[in-house]
Structure 1
């Protein structure tokens, strides 16, 4: 499998993952509320964070459909977002589930690299 194929697959997975977690955030799923409490994030912030995740995921999708500059911006935005999420876990010393924001971060980086190579 070519590196470009891997990046495309990772970008598609990033779209699905971010849209899915945004829906869970909007729905205030119990695991989302528990995670937010663990990192000392007020529940009132969840809709705003969900909107950023959803916008990033949809931006990547639009990028895949032919707007690579938008895809690059979305990937960069998600990368920054998930750096913040990892830092929030580190600050709160919540390590038992840090793999989740770390995995989302890696997917966002893959999407950013994919679109950066298309410009």
Structure 2
């Protein structure tokens, strides 16, 4: 199970880091900007959202070596993406909610692997 958690944690960390980069780059991805406009996220929130993603990625990686942090990171990321799903659904953007739902599933997989690792 440790190998499974490690793989899930590394893949999630890479994805979260790339996603955070796309938010804070001087010219953010037009698709991401449009999606965030759809759900009424102001530009001033891009950096804090990116910081949360980076923190989650870093703590997931630390969780490879210290399981309690991996569990905490996975729970925090599930809550983060659950919030994203709720925001998309409140804005009636069901298409945009698909991505966060998939990421919730990946975070739950990390959580399950972290709690069952020996």
Structures share fold, TM-score greater than 0.5: yes
Query: Which portions of structure 1, spanning 4 or more consecutive aligned residues, are displaced by more than 2 angstroms?
Result: 4-12
Aligned length, in residue pairs: 115
Match of 1:42 in 2: 42
Instruction: Give the distance between the partners of 1:43 and 1:61, measured in 2 at CA.
Output: 28
Are the equivalent residues in 2 in contact too, given 1:11–1:107 (CA < 8 A)?
no
Find out whether 1:73 has 2:111 as its counterpart. no
Match of 1:107 in 2: 106
Q: Using the TM superposition, give the Cα deviation of residue 12 of structure 1 relative to its aligned residue in structure 2, in angstroms.
A: 2.4
* The 10-residue stretch of structure 1 (107-116 or 5-14) with the greater mean CA deviation from structure 2: 5-14
Instruction: Give the distance between the partners of 2:110 and 2:85, measured in 1 at CA.
Output: 18
| TM-score, normalisation: structure 2 | 0.87
| TM-score, normalisation: structure 1 | 0.87
Match of 2:61 in 1: 61
Are the equivalent residues in 1 in contact too, given 2:5–2:114 (CA < 8 A)?
no
Q: Unmatched 5+ residue regions in structure 2?
A: none
Q: Unmatched 5+ residue regions in structure 1?
A: none
Q: Using the TM superposition, give the Cα deviation of residue 100 of structure 1 relative to its aligned residue in structure 2, in angstroms.
A: 0.9
* The 10-residue stretch of structure 1 (25-34 or 43-52) with the greater mean CA deviation from structure 2: 25-34
